[in-house]
């Protein structure tokens, strides 16, 4: 059989003998009545745990709409027009609306990237800016000690709406909800305190209740006072197939429940080899982002197996602290020890990769320089077929293979575990 995996804006293809294939983890076919912008409009017509947006916001208020940056697949251009229409219906003026891109710890964006993210109409109607971690207002701290520091443009708005797409997150349980605010529109120090809880056993993909990171995020949202969310669920082609709107927690929970129908995949046992991709651009822009697919793949590979991680990573490592931690480590265990004793934002993803390496080898199929890949303790390849052939040579021609073409979204769960 021929399998294809997203690789930047292209694909990587492999030929896999049918008898070696344990399964291909693809999204389930779930009935959905609406798609795209119509799904968003329907969500706004049927809010969860809140009134209609047009009745909740008040004429004369300033509004900040917090949405994702270029590293996320959230289709802001398809969500924002319906949100703006609701605000205009309520009497909110264009000049009183600001779209704020939640950078978290990511790089600043260009004006062209802003325009591409929101679309021509939105870009021409309202102001669009990046969040600024160096210009924040403090609202106190959470019970976990996380500073609730929010970028000024959002903090000074009268009404705050969070946009986002819901998918599995390797330690926050799920993306979306008020995660747009924390860590999205906060300070690096606040993000560091929140993310330092990633080493706790309860902080893992698919877990909401009892997950200390998700609980901390939502406590920060309550302290600050997020007013409304509009979140979407995307199919494997990054198209909207479901949307939720309303209360920041109740609407988010509804969206998570829908997502689980799509992407939670039960498997009987772990595979010898796992082929996994983020699904292509923009989610495999760098190794920092591509790591998310790796973290889901670890749930599908046996101890001593091989994960073949397929991602362009054309921008390299993608984060300075991430790169520094890797350059300062002599072996993977240096990273896992360091994150336990001296957590540092950015370095945490280097440690997450090292934790996978404790159980499996990782072949990275990418555009990165081979020496740079090896410095990350990964084994470099330029094409997936060569990597798969080598994995068979090491583990034997009878090795069983699991394929995860949309690994960043798909969560394998072993029945017995």
Q: What is the pTM of this model?
A: 0.81
pLDDT at residue 251, as a whole number: 98
Looking at the chain, the whole-number percentage of residues with pLDDT higher than 70 is 100
Can you tell me the distance from the alpha carbon of 89 to that of 273, in angstroms, rounded to the nearest whole number?
54
Check whether 91 has a pLDDT greater than 90.
yes
317: three-class secondary structure by DSSP: coil
Check whether 345 has a pLDDT greater than 80.
no
pLDDT tens-place string over residues 384-401 = 999 999 999 999 999 999
Check whether 416 has a pLDDT greater than 80.
no
pLDDT band at 69; cut points 50, 70, 90:
confident
**Strands, E, within 238-300: which ranges?**
240-246, 264-267, 271-277
Task: Please state, in angstroms and as integers, the Cα–Cα distance from residue 401 to each residue in 153, 208, 307, 319, 404, following that order.
Answer: 49, 30, 10, 32, 10
**Mean pLDDT, residues 39-56:** 98
Tracing tokens 């120090």 back to the chain, one arrives at 189
Can you tell me the distance from the alpha carbon of 251 to that of 56, in angstroms, rounded to the nearest whole number?
15
Check whether 417 has a pLDDT greater than 70.
no
List every span in the chain annotated with CATH 3.90.226.30.
Answer: 2-26+268-414
> Which residues, other chains included, contact 400 with Cβ-Cβ below 8 Å and sequence gap of 6+?
20, 21, 22, 271, 272, 273
From 130-144, 262-276, 363-377, 403-417, the region with the lowest mean pLDDT: 403-417
Tracing tokens 């790796």 back to the chain, one arrives at 294
pLDDT band at 31; cut points 50, 70, 90:
confident
Mean pLDDT of the chain, nearest integer: 94
List every span in the chain annotated with CATH 3.40.50.11440.
Answer: 36-262
Looking at the chain, the whole-number percentage of residues with pLDDT higher than 90 is 80
pLDDT at residue 143, as a whole number: 97
CATH number assigned to the domain with residue range 36-262, chosen from the 4 options 3.30.1490.20, 3.40.50.11440, 3.40.50.720, 3.40.50.300: 3.40.50.11440
Can you tell me the distance from the alpha carbon of 158 to that of 7, in angstroms, rounded to the nearest whole number?
42
Check whether 235 has a pLDDT greater than 90.
no
Q: Strand pairing of 228-234 and 240-246? A: antiparallel
pLDDT at residue 340, as a whole number: 76
Can you tell me the distance from the alpha carbon of 284 to that of 312, in angstroms, rounded to the nearest whole number?
6
pLDDT at residue 80, as a whole number: 97
Q: Measured on CA atoms in the order 394, 398, 399, 401, is the torsion positive or negative?
A: positive
Does domain 2-26+268-414 sit in CATH 3.90.226.30?
yes
pLDDT at residue 71, as a whole number: 76
pLDDT at residue 62, as a whole number: 98
């Amino acid at each position: 059989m021929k399998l294809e995996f997203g690789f930047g804006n292209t694909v990587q293809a492999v030929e896999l003998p049918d008898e070696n294939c344990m399964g291909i983890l693809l999204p389930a076919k779930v009935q959905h009545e609406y798609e795209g912008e119509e799904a968003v409009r329907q969500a706004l017509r049927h809010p969860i745990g809140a009134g209609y947006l047009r009745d909740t916001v008040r004429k004369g208020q300033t509004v900040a709409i917090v949405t994702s940056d270029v590293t996320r697949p959230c289709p802001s251009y398809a969500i924002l027009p319906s949100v703006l229409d609701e605000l205009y219906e309520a009497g909110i003026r264009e000049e009183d609306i600001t779209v704020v891109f939640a950078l978290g710890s990511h790089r600043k964006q260009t004006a062209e990237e802003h325009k591409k993210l929101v679309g021509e109409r939105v870009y021409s109607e309202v102001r669009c800016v990046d969040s600024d971690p160096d210009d924040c207002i403090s609202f106190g701290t959470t019970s976990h000690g996380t500073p609730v520091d929010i970028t000024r443009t959002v903090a000074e708005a009268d009404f705050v709406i969070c946009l986002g797409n819901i998918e599995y997150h390797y330690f926050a349980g799920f993306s979306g909800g008020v995660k747009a605010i924390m860590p999205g529109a906060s300070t690096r120090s606040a993000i560091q305190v929140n993310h330092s809880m990633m080493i706790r056993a309860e902080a893992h993909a698919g877990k909401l209740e009892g997950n200390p990171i998700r609980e901390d995020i939502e406590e920060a949202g309550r302290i600050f006072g997020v007013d409304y969310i509009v979140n979407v669920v995307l199919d494997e082609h990054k198209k909207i197939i479901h949307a939720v709107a309303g209360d920041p927690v109740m609407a988010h929970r509804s969206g998570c429940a829908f997502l689980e129908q799509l992407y939670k995949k039960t498997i009987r046992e772990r595979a010898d080899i796992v082929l996994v991709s983020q699904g292509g651009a923009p989610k495999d822009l760098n190794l920092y982002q591509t790591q998310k697919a790796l973290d889901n793949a670890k749930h599908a590979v046996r101890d001593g197996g091989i994960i073949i991680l397929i991602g362009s990573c054309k921008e390299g490592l993608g984060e300075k602290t991430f790169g520094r931690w890797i350059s300062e480590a002599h072996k993977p265990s240096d990273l896992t020890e360091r994150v336990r004793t001296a957590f540092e934002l950015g370095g945490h993803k280097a440690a997450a990769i090292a934790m996978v390496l404790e159980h499996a080898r990782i072949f990275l199929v990418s555009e990165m320089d081979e020496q740079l890949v090896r410095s990350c303790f990964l084994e470099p390849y330029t094409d997936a077929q060569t990597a798969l052939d080598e994995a068979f040579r090491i583990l034997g021609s009878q090795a069983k293979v699991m394929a995860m073409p949309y690994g960043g979204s798909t969560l394998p769960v072993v029945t017995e575990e």
